[in-house]
Structure 1
Amino acid sequence: MSVDSATAAKQCITGWSVDIHGTPLCQYCTKELLEGDEVTVYAYRPVEDQVVSVARLYCSECNHREIEHPALGCYEWLAEARLATISDVAHQSHERTLTGIDIIDECGPKEGDAR
């Protein structure tokens, strides 16, 4: 599936696991992010790829509301989300994921700076 629209990005970000390497932290202030916290999510997809990646989380206090420096050659999205916990009863495990996704800013692949 080619992801170049906010609707498709929203679907890809929903359910994304955010505690793969331990407790998720705010990228800016390093505050620990917990279940139920409202966060801002930065996600991107290079033009040549088909997969959306979630690269950064920000706590509500850091209040990132726009993509300040778009990357040339990438579709980018900034979204509001809430952290939720899903459980796998059979494996007795749980993980924090993103839910309630609302895209608040987006940039196309031609809007960025060449670096």
Structure 2
Amino acid sequence: MSVDSAPAAEQSITGWSLGIRGTALCQYCTKELGEGDEVTAYAYRPVEDQLVSVARLYCSECNHREIEHPALGCYEWLAKARLATTSDVAYQSHETTLTGIEIIDQSGPQGDTL
């Protein structure tokens, strides 16, 4: 599936595992984020790849709402999301993940708004 639309991006980053050992930080102010926190997530996909990556999180106080400097050659999305804890009973593990994804801004590979 080619990910170049908002609905496909929402589906790709829902459940995305975040942080190191359950710790996720705001990219801007470095506040520690946890389960239930509302965040803005920046995700991108280079034109030549199929995989979407979540590169940055912002807390609700830092309030990043638009892609300020679009990257050429990439599809980019900003999404409102909430942090959740996802458990895997078989492996007795827990991860901080993204849920409740809603795309709020996007940019195409030429730096244009999609």
Calculate the TM-score normalised by the size of structure 1: 0.94
Residue 9 of structure 2 aligns to a residue whose secondary structure is: helix
Question: 1:1-59: per-residue Cα shift (whole Å, max 9, x none)?
Answer: 11000000000010000024551100000000010000000000000100000000000
Residue 57 in structure 1 maps to residue 63 in structure 2: no
Q: Which residue does 2:9 correspond to in 1?
A: 9
Q: Which residue does 1:110 correspond to in 2?
A: 110
Between the aligned residues of both structures, percent identity stands at 82
8 A Cα contact 2:35 2:85, kept in partner? yes
Q: Which residue does 2:76 correspond to in 1?
A: 76
Q: Which amino acid aligns with 2:55?
A: A
Distance 1:12 1:89 in 2: 23
Residue 90 of structure 1 aligns to a residue whose secondary structure is: coil
Question: 1:51-104: per-residue Cα shift (whole Å, max 9, x none)?
Answer: 000000000000000000000010000000000001112221100100000000
Bigger shift: residues 17-26 or 78-87: 17-26
Q: Looking at secondary structure, tell me which structure has more strand per residue.
A: 2
- Aligned-residue CA RMSD (Å): 1.1
Bigger shift: residues 13-22 or 38-47: 13-22
Residue 105 of structure 2 aligns to a residue whose secondary structure is: strand
Gaps of 5+ in 2: none
Which portions of structure 1, spanning 4 or more consecutive aligned residues, are displaced by more than 4 angstroms? none
Gaps of 5+ in 1: none
Calculate the TM-score normalised by the size of structure 2: 0.94
Q: Which residue does 1:66 correspond to in 2?
A: 66
- What number of residue pairs does the alignment pair up? 112
Q: Which amino acid aligns with 2:4?
A: D
